[in-house]
Amino acid sequence: MLPAFYTDDGSGLPLLFIHAFPLNSSMWRAQRRDLSTFFRVLTFDLPGFGRGGAFPDTFSLDDAADMAVKLLDDRGIDRAVVCGCSMGGYIALSILRRHPERLTGLVLANTRATADSDAGRANRTRQAKSVRAGELQALRDEMLGKLLGETTVSSAPEVVRCVEDILQHATPEGTAGMLEAMAARPDSMTALAETRLPVCVISGAEDVLIPAAEAEAMHGVLRNGEMNVIPNAGHLCCLERPVRFNTAIRSFLQTHVLT
């Protein structure tokens, strides 16, 4: 199943970006603009988000991983560096488990490799039920308060407005369905520990959803990787501090992938 909407800019080493929950590929505007000068940058919308089309009755993170690989097939790309933010990181790790031969490297931003705790699964189930009961806007409001760091909220109102706008393009079906898909995901720490692929872990110093300790845990098991903590940024480093985020990716690729 191909994504209903995708972008493909630039040339050179392919970088595939997978968006966070409950956002869409427009969160990667700064990466498309700046990194496509040096690399081939691809993004896509997952079903139920942005221009991603209808959300299927059953859709898992593994299905999302297969969709990403199908996009690579369609664009004639054998291998790519996959960058996932938050939920996108879970999907990137699913690609690592299911299609490791399609990867040149990984960038795991504001994400974790462990499965949800029992409490985490219960919370996602509660949220999915409330969304299906008509409370999508309440979840959007709840998420907005956690997605951005306190520095961004206090000093960058344009970023807050941007995220508010992106959140409006998530459907109830997609939001509830992906909450359940994330709750069902398996642990990926073993796959991360076993890979010899270069992996870049990025965290925001002000991330309250997935704190830097989670990034440190992933970095600690890597055979070939690096870690970057971006100051004055929360859960959406790529939007909050795009220059620092893009510089970290370029440096990682030059050091670990293009050598």
pTM above 0.85, yes or no: yes
Task: Specify burial of residue 160 (Cβ count, 10 A radius: 0-12, 13-18, 19+).
Answer: middle
Average pLDDT over residues 211-238: 97
Structure confidence by residue, pLDDT tens digits, 63-114? 999 999 999 999 999 999 999 999 999 999 999 999 999 999 999 999 999 9
Query: CATH number of 6-257: 3.20.20.220, 3.50.50.60, 3.20.190.10, 3.40.50.1820?
Result: 3.40.50.1820
Phi/psi of residue 84, nearest 5 degrees: -125, 135
Please state the domain extents for the chain.
6-257
pLDDT, tens digit, 9 for 90 and up, residues 6-31: 999 999 999 999 999 999 999 999 99
Q: Quick one: tokens of 118?
A: 């029992």
Q: Which of 46, 97, 88, 51 is nearest to 67 (CA)?
A: 46
